[in-house]
A and B are shown apart, each in its own frame.
Chain A
Amino acid sequence: MEKIKVKICCGTSCFVMGASQIQILEIDPPADIKDKIEIEESRCMEHCHTNVSKYNRGPFVEVNGEVIEEANFEKVVNKIREILNKD
């Protein structure tokens, strides 16, 4: 099975808004998804530039190309599990 691609934005604003906590996926991912994900950090995915919302909706994480706004560890893990269960 193809791995799920998780792309974490590590641009300045995403990083301070919590992307650094999401990076834990890299070191210590939950056991059930451990072998099923592929993590990639991005310097800046530039969603903060293009987002139409008034306030910054970061941190941004892309799971298989789908953007998660105001992401946190749980949100990302839940999304991954949702995709896994679908398959």
Chain B
Amino acid sequence: MDSSLFIDIGSYQVQKNGEDCFGDTVYAKKIPEEQRIIGILSDGLGSGVKANILSSMTTRMAMKFMEDNTDLQVASETMMDALPICQIRKISYATFSIVDTELEGKTRIFEMDNPRYIFIRNNHLFDIKGREFSSPKWKDRKIFVSQVNNLPEDRIIVMSDGVTQAGIGNRKYPLGWGRDGCINFVLKTLEQDPHISSFTLSKKIVNEALDKENGRKAGDDISCMCLYFRNPRKLLIVTGPPFDEEKDKEIAELVSTYDGRIAICGGTTANIIERELCVKCEIDKTSFDSKIPMASTMEGVDLVTEGILTLTDVYRMLKEGIDKNSNTASVRLAKMLLESDKIDFVVGTKINVAHQDPSLPMELEIRRNIVKKIFRLLQSKYLKEISVRYV
């Protein structure tokens, strides 16, 4: 099996009450050639436009330095030198947390003056030892460096001090929510929903911090970025009968051995798999709908649907959003696609002559075309990893 992990990275921010723009900046970038993801969170001095400029300058510079693998000391000195000096406080300043991770190996984390990151493994807080150093030029600025080897289900959470200091001065939280408060909240949330996405987790943390503030008015910019390492969620879509009937067996074998979820799209395709694998496939009447043919259930397969109409409707929903309060076969398939990280399409290219009758509606597309539209959209809009094989 492919050993590389999938990283789900997500963030959420609110700005200080009354400000028009964020004083914190979150910036993440994927470098596919190096199988590497870099995520940066920076908190600019003060709030509003000035802080925004400081923090965005910091993240952009830091990203460039990280990409080029510049020496950390040189990089951080250059950044501190380059930032404009605040007229009130007479210093140039923005904090940062940098998470630099390689899909198959280690993750390095560099932090300066942000709350220490939270590392969760096996649903427990995991303390990672690191090293602190400062530059001769800026002695009071300490950079904390640590390194960890990723395992599936690890999570890294970085945040600005808006999270830890939320509610500061309140009667209930005189010293703010604190990092410990945040850790407890994260552990509790993960207990309820172990597979929560990074975006949802970030949003929950920020909202919880906001709850601590008087009248839910943020006293500082509150930002959070989460990384979730996991084995890729794989999905196999088999659609269409193979051009050569001799391949039927091969496709059926693929279905029976695939290590992930499986969906079959196409009545004839399902009939072929049913015949080859000697399993029973039955219509699932709970998916009844007047526009989309019903789904079926088959042992060892997660979803069986009709082909072209369902795929066309899935394409529409991927563009416009998934229909709410609906349980049609196409809604189920669209949700499955979005829940997966890596999707393998196996497309049979045999043409069903009955579909070419000119009296049929024009929307009946050729399978190859509709599949092409779907996977391109999944790649560009949803950043899924796609493979397609025509048989």
CB–CB B309/A56 < 8 A: no
CB–CB A44/B267 < 8 A: yes
Question: With a CB–CB cut-off of 8 A, which chain A residues contact B307?
Answer: 12
Q: Chain A interface: which of B39-47, B191-199, B283-291?
A: B283-291
Task: Identify A12's interface contact among B294, B353, B355, CB under 8 A.
Answer: B355
Contact pattern, A 1-19, Cβ under 8 Å of B = 1, otherwise 0: 0000000001111011100
Task: Identify A48's interface contact among B270, B306, B352, CB under 8 A.
Answer: B352
CB–CB A16/B364 < 8 A: yes
Question: With a CB–CB cut-off of 8 A, which chain A residues contact B267?
Answer: 10-12, 42-44
Question: With a CB–CB cut-off of 8 A, which chain A residues contact B291?
Answer: 20
CB–CB A13/B360 < 8 A: yes
Question: With a CB–CB cut-off of 8 A, which chain B residues contact A23?
Answer: 288, 290
Task: Identify A11's interface contact among B288, B306, B361, CB under 8 A.
Answer: B306
A49 close to chain B: CB less than 8 A: yes
Instruction: Give min CB distance, A73 to chain B, whole Å.
Output: 13
Report if A17-B360 is in contact (Cβ < 8 Å); known contacts: A10-B306, A41-B283, A43-B271.
yes
CB–CB B359/A44 < 8 A: no
Complex Cα distance, B353 from A51, in Å, reads: 11
CB–CB B357/A16 < 8 A: no
Interface centre among B268, B285, B288, B291 (most CB of A within 10 A): B268
Report if A44-B268 is in contact (Cβ < 8 Å); known contacts: A13-B352, A56-B354.
yes
CB–CB A49/B352 < 8 A: yes
Question: With a CB–CB cut-off of 8 A, which chain B residues contact A46?
Answer: 268, 271
Interface centre among A23, A41, A46 (most CB of B within 10 A): A41
Complex Cα distance, B182 from A2, in Å, reads: 66
Question: With a CB–CB cut-off of 8 A, which chain B residues contact A56?
Answer: 354, 357, 359-360
Question: With a CB–CB cut-off of 8 A, which chain A residues contact B357?
Answer: 13, 55-56
B281 close to chain A: CB less than 8 A: yes
CB–CB B290/A20 < 8 A: yes
CB–CB B354/A58 < 8 A: yes
Complex Cα distance, B268 from A58, in Å, reads: 16
Q: In the complex, which residue of chain A has the Cβ closest to the Cβ of B304? A: A43
Chain A residues 40 to 85 lying within 8 A of chain B, measured CB to CB, are: 40-44, 46, 48-49, 51, 55-56, 58
Chain B residues 345 to 364 lying within 8 A of chain A, measured CB to CB, are: 352-355, 357, 359-361, 364
Interface centre among B271, B293, B294, B296 (most CB of A within 10 A): B293
Question: With a CB–CB cut-off of 8 A, which chain B residues contact A44?
Answer: 267-268, 271
Complex Cα distance, B266 from A59, in Å, reads: 17
CB–CB A43/B352 < 8 A: no
Complex Cα distance, B271 from A43, in Å, reads: 8
Chain B residues 257 to 277 lying within 8 A of chain A, measured CB to CB, are: 267-268, 270-271
Report if A10-B359 is in contact (Cβ < 8 Å); known contacts: A26-B288, A43-B281.
no
- Chain B residues with a Cβ under 8 A of chain A: 267-268, 270-271, 281, 283, 285, 288, 290-291, 293-294, 296, 304, 306-309, 352-355, 357, 359-361, 364
| Contact sample, A vs B, 24 pairs, CB 8 Å cutoff | A10-B267, A10-B293, A10-B306, A11-B293, A13-B352, A13-B360, A13-B364, A16-B361, A17-B360, A20-B290, A23-B290, A26-B285, A41-B294, A42-B267, A43-B267, A43-B270, A43-B296, A46-B268, A48-B352, A49-B354, A51-B354, A55-B357, A56-B354, A56-B357
Closest CB pairs A-B (n = 6): A44-B267, A43-B267, A48-B354, A56-B357, A10-B293, A11-B267
Q: Given A12-B307, A49-B268, output 9 extra A-B contacts at Cβ < 8 Å.
A: A12-B355, A12-B364, A13-B355, A15-B309, A16-B309, A20-B291, A26-B285, A27-B288, A42-B267
